Amino acid sequence: MTESSCMSKLEAELRGRFGARVAAHQPLAEFTSFRIGGPAELMVTVENQAELMAVLDAAHRADMPSFCLGSGTNLLVSDRGIRGVVVRLAGEFLNIDFDGVRVRAGAAARFGLLVENAVERGLAGLEFGEGIPGSVGGGLVMNAGAFGGEIARVVRFVHGVTIEGAARSLTNGEVGFAYRRTALPRGFVITRVDFELRPGDREALRARVAELKGKRAARQPRGLPNAGSIFKNPPGNFAGRLLESAGIKGARVGGAAFSDQHANFIVNLGGARAEDVRALIEMARARVRETSGIALEPEVRLVGEW
């Protein structure tokens, strides 16, 4: 079978089960905080684990790639879009359940909502997450962190579905947490994360969150679509500082530019293409390498067909 006939067969199978929850050639710009990105060949929204297993199994049998989209706040989706099946989680994946200091959070739950709920219950450990956009699943994959904290420190178990469509649970140690990355099995889709927090003083936690909110507001550019920090901080240094010394602040390609407020943010000035952002990333890496000898590594994930 040719690739396009495999895809048609897969589309027919998924439409048979999920009906209007399957979209073909779905533009992805509206699903990313950058407001950039070409189409998903197929996009499917699943609402429970059985549905997710069925989609991954079908894509695997059809030999088609699958990609799990979170809230799209750390992504640069190529202008040509993403081949295969893009899976979005909804329904039961939005649930957050507290049981004493333990929390079970669905992968599609908003990370910020989890942080707020924990603070209001007087549970400590997630305050660093104030202002980090995105989902619990995306936060887990990226080992999201800020102000000295990171998600890895409060995770007990990660539950999900393998690329072949089988359920699997991992302990914290098996996730392979490192700075803004994890070593999850290829194609693993997280369904739920189990956290263990600590009892804390609600007023003190609220005060800490308010302090972090103020710090973030003072540092980050507002108003224009972006995907947060473009580069990771290299060991012992700051990407923003290196970019600023390399004179990159304000550099522009097409509709994208490095922010003049924070050198490590690229903003979409309107109508930016993924290629514009990629060109800026390459330009910045080259200049920083020339000026400091340091090779910056992107934090934003470049996905799709380039």
For ligand FAD, which is the closer residue by CB, 272 or 287? 272
Residue pair 103/118 in contact by the 8 Å Cβ criterion: yes
CB atoms within 10 A of CB 129: 28
Task: Tell me which stretch binds ligand FAD (CB under 6 A): 4-12, 67-75, 202-210, 278-286.
Answer: 67-75
Q: Which residue is nearest to ligand FAD (CB)?
A: 138
Q: Is residue 75 at the binding interface for ligand FAD, with CB under 6 A as the rule?
A: yes
Q: Is residue 36 at the binding interface for ligand FAD, with CB under 6 A as the rule?
A: no
For ligand FAD, which is the closer residue by CB, 198 or 213? 213
CB atoms within 10 A of CB 15: 16
CA distance 21 to 121: 35
How many residues touch ligand FAD (CB under 6 A)? 31
Q: How far is the CB of 131 from ligand FAD (least distance, A)?
A: 7
Residue 33 annotated as catalytic:
no
Q: Is residue 138 at the binding interface for ligand FAD, with CB under 6 A as the rule?
A: yes
Residue 116 annotated as catalytic:
no
Residue 229 annotated as catalytic:
yes
Q: Is residue 28 at the binding interface for ligand FAD, with CB under 6 A as the rule?
A: no
Task: Tell me which stretch binds ligand FAD (CB under 6 A): 22-30, 78-86, 142-150, 256-264.
Answer: 142-150
Binding site for ligand FAD (CB under 6 A): 33, 67-75, 89, 107, 132-135, 137-139, 141-142, 144-146, 189-190, 220, 226-228, 301
Residues with a catalytic annotation lie at: 180, 229, 299
